[in-house]
Amino acid sequence: MTLPGSPFLAYRGNDLHLEGVSLKALAQTHGTPLYVYSRQAMLAALAPYQKALQGRPHLVCYAVKANSNLAVLQTFAEAGCGFDIVSGGELARVLAAGGDPAKVVFSGVGKTRAEMKQVLEAGVRCFNVESTAELEVLSQVASGLGRTAQVSLRVNPDVDAGTHPYISTGLKGNKFGVAHELALATYRRAASLPGIAVTGIDCHIGSQITEVSPYLDALDRVLDLVEAIEAAGVPIHHLDLGGGLGITYTDETPPGADVLIGQLLARIDARGHGHRELLFEPGRSLVGNAGVLLTEVMYLKPGEHKNFCVVDAAMNDLARPALYEAWMAIVNTQVREGDAPVWDVVGPVCESGDWLGRDRALAVQPGDVLAVLSAGAYGMTMASNYNTRGRAAELMVDGEQVWVVREREAVNDLFRLERRLPR
């Protein structure tokens, strides 16, 4: 059977393995729902970024929002990565995992004063500023602390990334970034403000992008701006070209990271900007196909119009199908012979939107363990406690080694911070 995603996921005999470990055995030992990640798959996904950028000043900043488990962050920190954060909480995670704050860039449209203070005191590398209003507040906070905030402006190039509307970020109708036509004036304002030092320019056009052309279109617009900004007397040290490279969930064929970067470098060099430091912010492409969600089949419910395979994982464990109608492959961790009826794979949450996959041909029996593939990105980070359901445990595997990197939540954990009214 051909499986989308990681080469580290394969059947050995009748049992599905991630690296050297049987997924069914992990489910039996640790229970379900259960997230399992491959450390080797993450490092293999990082390698083409690092190889393509070798010999150039660069920093690969892993996008923490994709998967913020401490062991995941530790893996990338030890591999030399920086981090792209969007909250003070994510900074705290990076530091707890051993990350270097001097390799952190702080993105996001709604940075609070408290977060700005926290990040400045930690000594992060750069703020990716997304509005003139944010710039003014950051100047006040930095000046009040007697510090200087290194900034790049996130520019919205109005380029269609060709992805789902919810994860497109570079169009005029999106909330992100400074409009392209306002960027020069905003850079001039930034250069005049106390507590602010302009260091770069940032652009991020979306997520799950499967073609090179949107990146090249955005790059050309960014380089046009760089030339205009420097002509106005504001030097630009680095180009932050964001992330967003897609992965294979089913039949997508995104370019390899080395192919993408090679074409971007060729365009950068051709336009005379090869001396600048380059930053990238990959997330999904590093962890998406490194993880699976394991779930046990509880009931089979044949119907006149639909057959339902009821599992113990739900939309609170994996929100992407309900949120985006995202398609993620679902396979049995044990090969079964015979008929494979078509099922809707659904969870126990009291919502009709609680489904993990529709119209899936599966040879399955109650008690089987299914694996939802390509679940390493935007799985656990988007999980909730809806219906008072504890979040799943998380494991990391490396060869035949297995670590519990997050324990399963108990019910008491869910209301530990709540209080009854006094009587």
Active site residue ranges: 350
- DSSP state for residue 328 in the 8-state scheme: -
Phi/psi for 405 (5° steps) reads -105, -5
The token pair that represents 258 in the structure block: 């080395």
Q: What are phi and psi of 243, to 5 degrees?
A: -135, -135
Is 187 known as a binding-site position? no
Say whether 282 counts as a known binding-site residue.
yes
Question: Is 244 marked as a binding-site residue?
Answer: yes
**Phi and psi torsions of 244, nearest 5°:** 95, -5
Q: Are 332 and 363 in contact (CB under 8 A)?
A: yes
Could you report how far apart the first and last alpha carbons of the chain are, in Å? Answer: 62
Strand 149-156, strand 196-202: pairing: parallel
Is residue 399 annotated as involved in ligand binding? no
Q: Encode burial over 221-230: b for 16+ CB neighbours within 10 A, e otherwise.
A: bbbebbeebe
Beta strands (DSSP E) in 70-176 are: 82-85, 104-106, 126-129, 149-156
Any alpha helices (H) in 109-248, and if so which ranges? 113-122, 132-145, 183-192, 213-231
Q: Using CA atoms, how far apart are residues 405 and 96, in angstroms rounded to an integer?
A: 13
From CA 84, how far away is CA 90, in angstroms rounded? 9
Distance CA 290, CA 310 (A): 25
Which tokens in the block code for residue 113?
């004063």
d(CA 301, CA 223) in angstroms, rounded, equals 57
Residue 408 CA to residue 300 CA, distance in Å, equals 26
Q: Say if residue 35 carries a ligand binding annotation.
A: no
Rg (the chain; Cα; Å): 23
Annotated binding site for substrate: 284, 320, 324, 351, 378
Binding-site annotation: residue ranges for pyridoxal 5'-phosphate: 244, 281-284, 378
Enumerate the known binding-site residues. 244, 281-284, 320, 324, 351, 378
